[in-house]
A and B are shown apart, each in its own frame.
Chain A
Amino acid sequence: MSERKKLDRRDFMRTAAAFSFTGATWMAVGQKAEAKYWQLDPAKCTQCGRCTTHCVLNPSAVKCLNQFDICGYCDLCFGYLQPGSRDLDTGAENQLCPTAAIERKFIEAPYYEYKIHEDKCIGCAKCVKACLVFGNGSFYLQIRQDICINCNECSIAKSCPSDCFSEVPESDPYMYLTGDTYLAHPPA
């Protein structure tokens, strides 16, 4: 009888431990429960180029965006052209982008549209840096959320010298340069 009772008490303790353990974990963490995704803050980014090499994916999940409402549509685009290039044209030797991921398209005199082909972009931020120095700064890096495998510890974040990576909620997984998202999605 006493043996039986002892076992019951143990069972009770075990169940109680399981419940309190789960409950405590839930209480400690439960209030802020939303799925998180890594993103980088373009305002803090210093274009060091580590996004290209430090991502666990190759090519990196970090891609460059061109926010068209900031873009000056310049003919002499420093994000597109190699410094000191002789001709303002699409010649390979004139392009700054190492993978030729930027497409230059004539719109109307004197404006050109610069579109980034993200399948070619490696996130090296060369265009971002050049555009920030001489232009409006419409190029900026973002983590493409459909490519990123969302590592528990982001491999780029741990080696980012300007500490611009953070985890953002699933509902708003991009950090747009202007905080303006109207250009992000076509109107429904």
Chain B
Amino acid sequence: MKYLSLAIATLSTLLLQSAVAIELKFAPPDFETDYGMPYLFTPQPDGRNTPWEALILFGALSATTWMVFKARSRRGLFAISVFSLLFFGFYRQGCICPVGSTQNVMAAVFLPNVGISWIIVAFFVLPLLFSLFFGRVFCASVCPLGAMQELVAIAPIRISPALERVLGLGKYLYLGLATLGVATGSGFFICRYDPFVRIYRMADNYSMLIAAALILLIGVFIARPYCRFLCPYGVLLGWMSRFSKHHLEIPPSPCVECRLCEDSCPYNAIDMPTPQHLVGDPAEGKRRVRKLLFLSPLFILLGALGGYMMYEPLSHMNPTVSLSERIAKEDRKLVQESILESETFRVEGKTAAELHTESLAIKEQFKIGSALLGAFMALIISIKLVELSVVKKRTIYEPHKETCFSCGRCYPYCPVEEGA
């Protein structure tokens, strides 16, 4: 019995020792005094992304909705903007924001073994649901990126609708590229190139801070440049808002067509009554739309082909691919000096051939992804062209549901009173 317990004790000691896999060059000391080893100081996370923050997001969205529909107060919306800037921006330091959460959702969908907490899901879904019922109230005054731009838009000028449309394609491209980046495991590009979060943290590299300052400077005159031309989440919000049940209306009662709001919107988001010269021959219009619809599959195919041809440069956004190319260059003595990444790779003991195989597999993903990206862009352009060709007969001034940020800048311009 004594031997048995001794054997068990020895065995358990052996097992315990094998759990510590570190080979010690110096034996841990045998203290003669009653010295006790200090504990490691490893405090727990201080509770970021708590349910409270999702609740505050819900509250801010509800308050904005009330301001847009019931109070119809531009000042109220401005006040909520300031709150969002302080709370979602400076207090929460911009993370997690619904714009960035798009990537977490995409990662959870595309990549295996990538999880997402339900708070992030809430941050992604809540603004979209509000958008589906009330228009883009999130953009109006809840988004920390939009709030900062809204506050600096002091002397906005209007750019021509044609330029607006062309530049506006940028956000679809950004969304496509970000999706490609996430789906191939290359990184979260929306966060990496988000200029405003740098201001909230007052840190990070100078080039991004300068970019942020530039965008804000442009934003004084061309209001909300990021939202209009780059924001990838805005694309999703716009799609939802297009089918929204309720949406901001410029006059609280029937429009009197006084034309006072005509120049009020710096975002080109007010649709004017259709000018007479545009209402041409309906048969002509129908023919044009038919032609466009007939040509669009060809155009999409061309887009896919164009995208496919871009896969090589696009694949360099993936760190494995770019490292593999770098190693190949160094091995062939095309570059003299080595970089930290390649030095680390060489001490880690993986062979260049293994890395190359990995890189080839990722490039295969990029072939499909780039073709899809090209097709997506062509599809968007064809839809926009068809939209332009369909002349809707409009007799009043109304906000364009997809692009209107519900910021309420047009409210003070409208002389129509409630119930008039």
* A residues neighboring B (CB under 8 Å): 11, 14, 17-18, 21-22, 25-26, 28-37, 46, 48, 50, 56-58, 65, 67-74, 107-108, 111, 113, 115, 118, 134-137, 142, 144-146, 148-153, 155, 158, 161-162, 170, 173-174, 176-180, 183-186
For A155, the closest partner residue in chain B by CB is B204
B28 touches A150 (CB 8 A): no
A137 touches B22 (CB 8 A): yes
Using known A-B contacts A14-B245, A162-B348, determine if residue A153 contacts B31 with beta carbons closer than 8 Å.
Answer: no
A146 touches B45 (CB 8 A): yes
What are 8 A-B contacts defined by CB distance under 8 Å?
A67-B40, A70-B22, A70-B28, A136-B25, A148-B45, A150-B48, A152-B95, A152-B188
A11 touches B24 (CB 8 A): no
A162 to B40: give the CA distance in the assembly, Å. 25
Q: Does B192 lie at the interface of the complex (its beta carbon under 8 Å from any beta carbon of A)? A: yes
For B116, the closest partner residue in chain A by CB is A29
B31 contacts across to A, CB distance below 8 A: 107-108, 111
Using known A-B contacts A136-B22, A158-B192, determine if residue A28 contacts B108 with beta carbons closer than 8 Å.
Answer: yes
A146 to B118: give the CA distance in the assembly, Å. 21
A18 contacts across to B, CB distance below 8 A: 129, 132-133
Residues of chain B in range 24-39 having any CB-CB distance to chain A below 8 Å: 24-29, 31-33, 35, 37-39
Minimum-distance CB pairs A-B, first 7: A32-B115, A72-B26, A153-B188, A161-B344, A29-B108, A68-B37, A153-B191
A50 to B341: give the CA distance in the assembly, Å. 11
Partner of B125, one of A21, A151, A185: A21
Partner of B39, one of A25, A108, A183: A183
B243 touches A14 (CB 8 A): yes
A65 contacts across to B, CB distance below 8 A: 40-42
A173 to B95: give the CA distance in the assembly, Å. 18
Q: Does B293 lie at the interface of the complex (its beta carbon under 8 Å from any beta carbon of A)? A: no
Using known A-B contacts A34-B117, A146-B44, A152-B100, determine if residue A46 contacts B25 with beta carbons closer than 8 Å.
Answer: no
Using known A-B contacts A57-B203, A107-B35, determine if residue A151 contacts B95 with beta carbons closer than 8 Å.
Answer: yes
Using known A-B contacts A56-B204, A152-B104, determine if residue A14 contacts B133 with beta carbons closer than 8 Å.
Answer: yes
Residues of chain B in range 174-226 having any CB-CB distance to chain A below 8 Å: 187-188, 191-192, 201, 203-204
Contact indicator per residue, chain B 7-25, by CB within 8 Å of chain A (1) or not (0): 0000000000001111011
A178 touches B22 (CB 8 A): yes
A144 contacts across to B, CB distance below 8 A: 42-43
Query: How close is A29's CB to chain B, nearest CB, in angstroms?
Result: 4
A148 to B19: give the CA distance in the assembly, Å. 30
A134 to B245: give the CA distance in the assembly, Å. 69
B21 contacts across to A, CB distance below 8 A: 178
Chain B facing A: main interface SS? loop
A33 touches B116 (CB 8 A): yes
B40 contacts across to A, CB distance below 8 A: 65, 67-68, 176, 183-184
A11 touches B22 (CB 8 A): no
A18 to B273: give the CA distance in the assembly, Å. 32
Query: How close is B108's CB to chain A, nearest CB, in angstroms?
Result: 4
A73 to B245: give the CA distance in the assembly, Å. 70
Q: Does B109 lie at the interface of the complex (its beta carbon under 8 Å from any beta carbon of A)? A: yes
A22 to B245: give the CA distance in the assembly, Å. 17
A11 to B108: give the CA distance in the assembly, Å. 30
Q: Does B49 lie at the interface of the complex (its beta carbon under 8 Å from any beta carbon of A)? A: yes
- Count residues of chain B with CB under 8 A from any CB of chain A: 67
B115 touches A150 (CB 8 A): no
A174 to B125: give the CA distance in the assembly, Å. 30
Q: Does B265 lie at the interface of the complex (its beta carbon under 8 Å from any beta carbon of A)? A: no
A13 to B159: give the CA distance in the assembly, Å. 36
A25 touches B115 (CB 8 A): no
B43 contacts across to A, CB distance below 8 A: 144-146
A137 contacts across to B, CB distance below 8 A: 22
Using known A-B contacts A56-B204, A108-B33, A153-B192, determine if residue A70 contacts B100 with beta carbons closer than 8 Å.
Answer: no
For B118, the closest partner residue in chain A by CB is A33
B45 touches A149 (CB 8 A): no
A91 to B20: give the CA distance in the assembly, Å. 35
A30 to B33: give the CA distance in the assembly, Å. 54
A11 to B132: give the CA distance in the assembly, Å. 11
A179 touches B132 (CB 8 A): no
Q: Does B315 lie at the interface of the complex (its beta carbon under 8 Å from any beta carbon of A)? A: no
Partner of B26, one of A74, A113, A185: A74
A135 touches B25 (CB 8 A): yes
A150 contacts across to B, CB distance below 8 A: 45, 48-49, 95
A174 contacts across to B, CB distance below 8 A: 42
Q: Told that A17-B132, A107-B33 touch, could you supply 10 new A-B pairs with CB distance under 8 A?
A: A28-B109, A29-B116, A30-B118, A32-B108, A33-B121, A35-B117, A37-B45, A72-B26, A170-B45, A177-B22
Query: How close is B202's CB to chain A, nearest CB, in angstroms?
Result: 9
Q: Does B103 lie at the interface of the complex (its beta carbon under 8 Å from any beta carbon of A)? A: yes
B140 contacts across to A, CB distance below 8 A: none
A33 to B54: give the CA distance in the assembly, Å. 15
